[in-house]
Amino acid sequence: MGTGRFITDLKRRFSQGDTVMQLIYVNAAVFLAVAVCNIVTTLFNLPPAAWLQWLELSANPETFVRQPWSLFTYMFMHAGVFHILFNMLWLYWFGRLFLNFFSSKHLRGLYVLGGICGGLLFMLFYNVFPYFDDKSPWIVGASASVLAIVVASGVREPNCPVQFMFIGVVRLKYVAAFMVVLDLLFMTSSNAGGHIAHLGGALSGWWFAAGLSKGHDATKWINGVLDFFSVRRRKKPKMKVYYGDKQKDYDFNARKKEREAEVDRILDKLRKSGYGSLTEEEKKRLFDASKK
């Protein structure tokens, strides 16, 4: 397979994948790009690429003012193979679970919101509490974003069963609570910044899920910005005039409206009674609709 065909295939897979896979692809691409840069600088006995620090989030206010974009870029950076591996595994498992309760746009927006809230809490703690004066003022990683997704799912469907190898079935609310408590206990460890960021992500997940149940979408503004700057925004297709079977067109539009009405009914039932109230057929229809 040639390089051009390989890249084309990757683009196709990316465009056809759901939001979970697209986020994983972006994280993996950034990690590979950084790894290649580090290998090249090492082979030539050069110091580590200085520009990489411009993508990491610093707790220093003066540094942050010079690179405010780092509040966004840091959530796609990772410190090592195991760091990105575990984050992407959790993103895959709980991202798919999240899509059973919320939309793809909610997932995309919450990933960014979780990272932002995690980064802001990290900066706040490091500039308020003297204990962190001699700790590393830099963080990278998608953990805050992932924990936001886990907690939001736990708030929405606390009793949803989650299967773990060697452990068995655990209710989602206990999984989320365990992760939050773990971060609280290790908030003063060697990776203090990371655990504080996790807590910020968890808070954003709770904020999003609790607010959405009351009609407030905390991710709306983020999705608006992402839609505006999205490079994947499709151009409006040119209008074409064709002459076809009017009856077939009428039947197609009627079936389409019927499917949309059924999805709206299921979503309304989901909001009022919870995911557990849906029948297997309704769950399947909702899942199929979320992938379109």
pLDDT tens digits along 193-244: 999 999 999 999 999 999 998 999 999 999 999 988 875 555 555 555 444 5
Q: Which of 180, 196, 229 is the last residue of a domain?
A: 229
Task: For residues 198 and 66, state if they share a domain.
Answer: yes
Report if residue 183 sits inside a domain.
yes
In this structure, are 71 and 29 located in the same domain?
Answer: yes
Residue 141 confidence class, pLDDT cut points 50, 70, 90: very high
pLDDT in tens, 47-56: 777 788 899 9
Residue 252 is predicted with a pLDDT of 67
Q: Are residues 251 and 122 in the same domain?
A: no
Local structure of residue 243 (DSSP, 8 states): -
- Determine the Cα–Cα distance for residues 200 and 114; give it in Å rounded to an integer: 7
Provide the token pair at 53: 């620090």
Provide the domain count of the chain: 2
Question: What confidence category does residue 96 fall into, taking pLDDT thresholds of 50, 70 and 90?
Answer: very high
DSSP state of 75: G
> What's the CA gap between 110 and 209, in Å, rounded?
10
Q: Are residues 196 and 271 in the same domain?
A: no
* Helix intervals (H) in the chain: 3-16, 19-43, 61-66, 70-73, 81-98, 104-128, 143-156, 172-185, 192-212, 220-229, 246-273, 280-290
Query: Is the pLDDT reported for residue 262 higher than 90?
Result: no
13 vs 143, which has greater pLDDT?
143
Please tell me the predicted confidence (pLDDT) of residue 244.
Answer: 52
CATH number at residue 31: 1.20.1540.10
User: What is the rounded CA–CA span in Å between residue 64 and residue 4?
Assistant: 38
For range 121-129, the mean pLDDT: 96
Residue 233's pLDDT is 56
CA 176 – CA 166 distance, rounded (Å) = 18
Is 236 inside any structural domain? Answer: no
pLDDT category at 175 given cuts 50, 70, 90 is very high
Q: How confident is the model at residue 291 (pLDDT cuts 50, 70, 90)?
A: low
Residue 176 pLDDT > 90, yes or no? yes
Contacts of 105 (CB under 8 A, 6+ apart): 19, 219, 223
Residue 263's domain comprises: 246-290
pLDDT score of 163 more than 90: no
Q: 């992932």: which residue's tokens?
A: 146
Note whether 224 and 276 are same-domain residues. Answer: no
Considering the domain architecture, whether residues 38 and 183 belong to the same structural domain is answered as yes
Structure tokens at 19: 């939001």
* Co-location of 193 and 133 in the same domain: yes
